[in-house]
Structure 1
Amino acid sequence: MSALFFAVLSEAKPWITKLQAKPISHLGKFRIFQKENHYIIISGTGKLSAALAVSEFAHILSKPDRNQMKIWNLGIAGSNSSELSLGDFLWIHKITDAGTKRDFYPDRIEKSKFTKETTLTTFDRPITKNENSDRFLFLSQEELKGIQLIDMEGSGFFEAASLYFPLENISLGKLVSDHLEGTFCKAETVESMMAEKMEGLFDEWTSPLPWTGIDSIETFDWPLVESFIQNLRLTETMKHDLKKSIRFFRLRNPNTSLPFPEESLKIHLKSKSDLKEFFEQWRESLHV
């Protein structure tokens, strides 16, 4: 079972044609195409639209189906790196939401014909390096320092998907469409670029998840974690996110001891911001 989210039709069209998918009739807002147990969803642009589309799709599935569903977001992205060429395809291993400054860590695709990976920053508006553009938000080279790829959906898609689907089932891949010149790509150009990369990705997307049904952390890892965090005031959401990160680590490192922060660090947690920083650093260590 697999689901594929796109922002616009030009990105999705080659996949819909290849899959021979048909639109399904449902009461929701978003266009959903289906062929057997494979789905293609078009969300529209922006992280809010992406999040809403994920939520709507998740609610037409049963919980067991969600656990077995491979869920991807593919699409175009602007590049701030001169080392990346137009048409390059890269998997995303870290997303930063430019508005909230939150970081998210998608699953790393370990067995793919496409081996490049990078970071993605999601903005609320299109970004450009061209000072003379009035339809894009201008950012200086200093403001763009450290930013690799830019889109408008990634963080919204991932944050919503992680609420409904196992973390290890979720992946994002982006295709370089521009170098932030401040112009919109033509639909036919996007369609052509996506069609070219689809040939190498289609079988990977439609293949079953290799770890479907595997989840041993409840028995082995989580009791140790509960003992470690018993005096920390973690919210239920934080515990939920931590468990997903631990599952990610265990699937990638089945025979490695779970990394814990130094016990002595806990006595220095005097405020909510201290706890949040401690928590985020721990989660980040689980995604290395």
Structure 2
Amino acid sequence: MYLFVCAMESEIITFLEKSKPTEVFKSKNFNLYKKNNHYFLITGIGKVNAAFALTHFLTKYNEGNTLKGIINIGVCGSVNKKLSICDVVMIDKAYYHDFDLTMFGYKYGQVPGSHQFFEPERNLHETIRASLASWKPHSCNLATGDVFVQKHNYFNELKIKHNIKIDVVDMEGTSYFHVAEKLTVPFIAIKIISDYIESDNNSNQYSENMAHATKIIQNIIERIINE
């Protein structure tokens, strides 16, 4: 049994419309669906919403630790010019880009009592990577923060000042990693490139590319749950 988690219903809308999963729970905070033995959680946008919804699911619906793993699947922006729109990426390291306690001796992005970055559970990561070989997924580093990033130079400064290389950005991913680690559940993240951060119209790019991205997401989910 897998839990697929994303921020917005629009990210998995093509899959939902085709597969018609059962609605388990719906509220103004988050939505939960189930198809066969797999769950699909839509958490809402932002780090707090992401952490709240995933924690709620894991404490209420994962009795007996029956989950094989959590898979975050959704769209992201790219700051890496080598990545193309609608490329599939798998996250190797996940950072917070808006958390800074360096003046107290912590590394940039490091939450006290935790790491500077989070990593996927390697067995699950490699198993899913093998399943997705036909998409040729890229290995990337993710930065998460509560802002729709539109300034590429921000991440150049992170690399220069703190030796942090970022490829893609979102507003929830690292929070999912953080919760999964605290509750010791295997976790990985798969992202589809929706826009370039350096573009002057990346918000327009995002909207224009969502239809193609959601189709890729549908195909990836189907590949995983049917193997």
Q: What TM-score do the two structures reach when normalised by structure 2?
A: 0.76
Distance 2:32 2:218 in 1: 19
Q: 1:27 to 1:165 in 2, by over 3 A?
A: farther
Greater strand share, structure number: 2
Distance 2:179 2:46 in 1: 13
1:54-90 CA deviation, whole Å, 9 max, x = no partner? 01111222432x3433211111111111110000011
Partner of 1:127: 149
Q: Let me know the Cα RMSD of the aligned residues.
A: 2.5
Distance 1:84 1:149 in 2: 9
Q: 1:171 to 1:32 in 2, by over 3 A?
A: same
1:15-41 CA deviation, whole Å, 9 max, x = no partner? 223432121247883111112221111
Match of 1:152 among 162, 171, 195: 171
Partner of 1:53: 53
Distance 1:152 1:143 in 2: 17
Tell whether 2:138 aligns with 1:116: yes
Extract unaligned runs of 5+ from structure 2: 100-108, 110-115
Partner of 2:182: 163
Distance 2:141 2:10 in 1: 24
Give, in angstroms, the shift of residue 48 of structure 1.
1.1
Q: 1:76 to 1:24 in 2, by over 3 A?
A: same
Map 1:38-187 to 2 at 5 A. Answer: 38-64=38-64, 66-100=65-99, 101=109, 102-108=116-122, 109-110=125-126, 111-113=130-132, 114=135, 115-129=137-151, 139=154, 141-143=156-158, 146-166=165-185, 169-180=186-197, 181=199, 183-184=202-203, 185=205, 187=207
Distance 2:166 2:206 in 1: 24
Distance 2:220 2:23 in 1: 24
Give, in angstroms, the shift of residue 129 of structure 1.
2.7
Tell whether 2:218 aligns with 1:198: yes
**Count of residue correspondences:** 197
Give, in angstroms, the shift of residue 53 of structure 1.
0.9
What letter is aligned with 1:93? Answer: D
Distance 2:172 2:140 in 1: 16
Rg larger for: 1
Give, in angstroms, the shift of residue 98 of structure 1.
1.4
- Structure having greater relative contact order (Cα 8 Å, sep ≥ 6): 2
Task: State the identity %.
Answer: 25
Structure 2 counterpart SS, 1:125? coil
Extract unaligned runs of 5+ from structure 1: 131-137, 208-288
Q: What TM-score do the two structures reach when normalised by structure 1?
A: 0.61
Distance 2:191 2:32 in 1: 21
What letter is aligned with 2:177? Answer: F
Map 1:7-26 to 2 at 5 A. Answer: 7-25=7-25
Distance 1:157 1:29 in 2: 16
Structure 2 counterpart SS, 1:45? coil
What letter is aligned with 2:188? Answer: S
Give, in angstroms, the shift of residue 157 of structure 1.
1.0
Which deviates the most, 190-199 or 169-178?
190-199
Partner of 1:4: 4
Give, in angstroms, the shift of residue 116 of structure 1.
2.0
